[in-house]
């Protein structure tokens, strides 16, 4: 560990596994900062329609409010380990909170869509640091014997954010204004900063030199991904992929990503994303699945509130309430399935979860302006259950066959793939939706509800398609459960799964936000 583990009264030989008051207090302090980040992701989802009208911009433009934030989240994740070694967990935690606070204030006073998107990047840089920092600080303070139980306690409130976030966002927009979906973060961040300053113990820095940060990889991959996503957004605005404004950024982005791939495979330092990890079949499947889960989950979070507001004429509060069943399904799935994850085949869980996700998406591919809300709500519960069942075993499966030294790199890589999938999925679905909606209007007439609903139905087919595309990847995951892998039935150890990675229930709960 780069940071020495702080002493704790409960770490005596007699009570080494006891979760003492100091640890609980630390967990609550960290939770205060993490929950606000997780709520922010879902609160903004119900505000996109209002933001588009406030700034008079189209869907491909307003989607950048979400996409830019998610890209910033992804790109800052690899900085976490290096920064903790260099500056210490307490300092980095307070810096990340301050950055998220500053971004929230700037977003709240944004004067144009361009300024709002730029300030969302600042907010995303802070938010992207907070989630992995929480896991790192907790792991160092609790140790492996107590980490699972402590993280389970911390993750429990986080499971409520997919349910409460959209509703809270709708209430804020209805009662106040869109600016308060960002300004609401300010008092919470200030309280979290004060608590961290007063209660988090100072940590000694390691005497050894910190691991070298991959600046070259960062300079290649970050603009490469941004250029690809920007190209897709421009395709939605121009109605195709033939314009120079679309082809040029796409080409630049693809070239930068390919150069990064070549560089990452040859560099002697640990690259931003260690592509050598893909030699492990299980990691390959897990990373690819999290990429598609990011597209499917966040793509739906982009489409669902817009459908309810633009087609059904729902208020932001009503749209938030109608979006909550998916979060409820995920919450139930995380709580129930994480208890049995180690005893059930990861492959079986993922395939079963994908099946539920597909079944829960079918109703939305047939939506009209008058589809039963009961049917749609029940479908979202099933879809949420499926996503939870598919996501719970994936993070643990990512570590199988890897060395202890490779586990932190695997954690960062899988998180990056999910966030990149989320940002790319939002951009792609914005393109699909933008190309469908022009047919719903014409001649200066008001939008036709039936034609607009059909445009959303076509877009929902894409989310269904991404879920189906994930099915073959499920077969790359282990066939046997963690318990079965630990013994071959005769008391012999059989390729035990590494134990130093984050618990499956925690990783799934936090990654799904």
Q: Which residues of 320-348 are buried (b: 16+ CB within 10 A; e: fewer)?
A: bbbbbbbbbbbbebbbebbeebbebbbbb
Domain presence at residue 210: no
> Which residues have CB under 8 Å from 128's CB, separation 6+?
72, 73, 74, 75, 76, 77, 419
* Residue 151 predicted with pLDDT over 70: no
Residue 2 lies in a domain: no
Residue 397 in any domain: the answer is: yes
264 and 370 housed in the same domain: no
The candidate with the shortest Cα–Cα distance to 289, out of 407, 386, 357, 390, is 390
Say whether pLDDT at 16 is over 60.
no
Q: Do 260 and 136 sit in the same domain of this protein?
A: no
443 confidence band (pLDDT: 50, 70, 90): very low
Q: Nearest to residue 96, comparing CAs of 72, 121, 119, 123? A: 123
Three-state SS for 382? helix
* 259 C-beta neighbours (distance < 10 Å), count: 15
Whether 367 and 486 share a structural domain: yes
Residues 290 and 401 in one domain: yes
Q: What is the DSSP string of 438-477?
A: GGG-BTTBPPPHHHHHHHHHHHHHHHHHHHHHTHHHHTTS
Both 418 and 477 in one domain: the answer is: yes
From CA 276, how far away is CA 319, in angstroms rounded? 43
Q: With 50 as the cut, is the pLDDT of residue 6 above it?
A: no
Residue 442 has phi, psi (to 5 degrees) of: 165, 150
111 and 176 share one domain: yes
The HSE-up count of residue 304 (CA atoms within 13 Å, CB side) is 31
Given the structure tokens 């990373």, which residue do they identify?
287
How large is the average pLDDT for residues 269-293?
86
Residue 117 has pLDDT above 90, yes or no: yes
Residues 252 and 364 reside in one and the same domain: no
Lowest mean pLDDT among 98-112, 236-250, 464-478: 236-250
Q: What's the CATH code of the domain at 33?
A: 1.20.1250.20
- Does 97 share its domain with 235? no
Query: What number is the average pLDDT over the span 436-460?
Result: 71
Question: Which one has a higher pLDDT value, 397 or 51?
Answer: 51
Closest CA to 43 of 92, 122, 108: 108
Average pLDDT over residues 16-26: 69
pLDDT over 70 for what percent of the chain? 79
Residues 242 and 304 in one domain: no
- Residue 448 above 60 pLDDT? yes
Kindly report, residue by residue over 59-85, the tens digit of the pLDDT.
Answer: 878 888 888 888 888 778 778 777 777
pLDDT of residue 500: 39
**What's the pLDDT at 116?**
94
Q: Where are the beta strands (DSSP E) in 335-415?
A: none
Q: Is residue 1 part of a domain?
A: no
Q: What is the mean pLDDT of residues 276-296?
A: 87
Domain count, the chain: 2
The answer to the question of residue 161 being in a domain is: yes
pLDDT at 248 over 60: yes
Percent pLDDT > 90 in the chain is 14
Q: Are 275 and 260 members of one domain?
A: no
Q: Which of 22-36, 116-130, 218-232, 280-294 is least confident?
A: 22-36
CB-based contact 410:501 (threshold 8 Å):
yes
**Dihedral (C-alpha) 296, 381, 375, 471: value to the nearest 10 degrees?**
40
Quick: pLDDT tens for 211-235.
677 888 888 988 888 888 888 777 7
The pLDDT score that the predictor gives to residue 153 is 59
DSSP state letters, 21-36: HHHHHHHHHHHHHHHH
- The DSSP secondary-structure symbol of 3 reads B
Task: For residue 4, tell me if it sits in a domain.
Answer: no
Of residues 465, 432, 424, the one with CA closest to residue 59: 432
Q: Is 15's pLDDT higher than 50?
A: no
Per-residue confidence at 147, pLDDT binned at 50, 70, 90?
Answer: low
**pLDDT over threshold 90, residue 146:** no
What value does the mean pLDDT take over residues 316-332? 85
The mean-pLDDT minimum among 182-186, 203-207, 412-416, 436-440 falls in: 203-207
Q: How far apart are the two ends of the chain, measured CA to CA in Å?
A: 28
Note the pLDDT of residue 13. 42
Domain termination residue (choose one: 242, 268, 294): 268
Residue that is written with structure tokens 């209430």 in the block: 171
* Distance, CA of 62 to CA of 50 (rounded, Å): 10
DSSP 390-410: HHHHHHHHTTTT--GGGHHHH
User: 186 and 62 in one domain?
Assistant: yes
Angle between helices 373-397 and 281-310 (to 10 degrees): 160
pLDDT score for 207: 53
Give the Cα separation of 410 and 413 in Å (integer): 5
Average confidence score pLDDT of the chain: 78
Say yes or no to pLDDT of 98 above 90. yes
Task: Give the dihedral sign, CA 86/411/418/107.
Answer: negative
Give the C-alpha separation, 286 to 162, whole Å: 23
Residue 8 lies in a domain: no
Per mean pLDDT, which range of 168-172, 323-327, 400-404 is the poorest? Answer: 400-404
How far apart CA 352 and CA 334 sit, in angstroms, is 14
Give the C-alpha separation, 102 to 470, whole Å: 38
Residues 247 and 321 in one domain: no
Range of the domain at 482: 19-203+269-440+447-511
20: DSSP letter: -
Select from 223, 241, 268 the last residue of a domain: 268
**Does 14 fall in a domain?**
no
Distance CA 298, CA 126 (A): 20
């Amino acid at each position: 560990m780069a940071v020495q583990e702080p002493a704790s009264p409960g770490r005596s030989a007699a009570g080494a596994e006891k979760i003492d008051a100091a640890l609980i207090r630390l967990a609550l302090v960290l939770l205060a900062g993490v929950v606000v980040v997780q709520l922010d992701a879902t609160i903004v989802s119900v505000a996109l329609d209002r933001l588009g009208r406030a700034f008079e911009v189209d869907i491909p433009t307003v989607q950048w409010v979400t996409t830019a934030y998610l890209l910033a989240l992804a790109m800052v994740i690899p900085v976490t380990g290096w920064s903790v070694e260099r500056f210490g967990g307490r300092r980095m935690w307070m810096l990340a909170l301050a950055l998220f606070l500053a971004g929230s204030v700037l977003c709240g006073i944004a004067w144009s869509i361009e300024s709002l998107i730029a300030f969302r990047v600042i907010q995303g840089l802070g938010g992207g640091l907070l989630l992995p920092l929480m896991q790192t600080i907790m792991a160092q303070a609790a140790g492996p014997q107590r980490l699972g139980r402590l993280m389970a306690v911390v993750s429990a409130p986080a499971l409520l954010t997919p349910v409460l976030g959209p509703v809270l966002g709708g209430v804020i927009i209805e009662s106040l204004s869109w600016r308060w979906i960002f300004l609401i973060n300010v008092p919470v961040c200030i309280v979290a900063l004060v608590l961290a300053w007063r209660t988090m113990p100072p940590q000694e820095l390691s005497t050894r030199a910190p691991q070298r940060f991959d600046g070259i990889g960062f300079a290649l991959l970050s603009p490469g991904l941004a250029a690809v996503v920007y190209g897709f957004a421009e395709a939605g605005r121009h109605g195709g992929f033939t314009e120079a404004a679309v082809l040029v950024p796409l080409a630049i982005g693809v070239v930068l990503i390919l150069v990064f791939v070549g560089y990452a495979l040859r560099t002697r330092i640990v690259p931003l994303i260690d592509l050598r990890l893909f030699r492990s079949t299980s990691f390959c499947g897990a990373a690819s699945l999290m990429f598609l889960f990011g597209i499917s989950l966040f793509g739906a979070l982009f489409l669902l509130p817009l459908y309810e507001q633009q087609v059904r004429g729902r208020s932001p509060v009503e749209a938030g309430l109608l979006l909550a069943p998916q979060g409820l399904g995920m919450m139930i799935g995380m709580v129930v399935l994480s208890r049995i994850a180690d005893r059930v085949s990861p492959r079986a869980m993922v395939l079963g979860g994908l099946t539920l996700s597909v079944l829960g998406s079918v109703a939305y591919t047939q939506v009209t302006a008058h589809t039963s809300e009961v049917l749609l709500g029940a479908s979202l519960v099933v879809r949420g259950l499926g996503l939870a069942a598919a996501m719970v075993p994936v993070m643990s499966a990512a570590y199988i066959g890897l060395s202890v030294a490779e586990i932190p790199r695997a954690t960062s890589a899988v998180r990056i793939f999910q966030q990149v999938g989320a940002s790319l999925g939002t951009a792609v679905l914005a393109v699909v939706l933008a190309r469908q909606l022009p047919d719903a209007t014409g001649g200066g007439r008001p939008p036709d509800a039936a034609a607009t609903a059909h445009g959303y139905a076509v877009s929902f087919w894409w989310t269904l398609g991404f879920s189906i595309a994930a099915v073959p990847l499920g077969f790359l995951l282990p066939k046997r459960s963690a318990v079965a892998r630990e013994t071959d039935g005769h008391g012999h150890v059989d390729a035990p799964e590494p134990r130093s990675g984050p618990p499956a229930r925690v990783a799934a709960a936090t990654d799904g936000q």
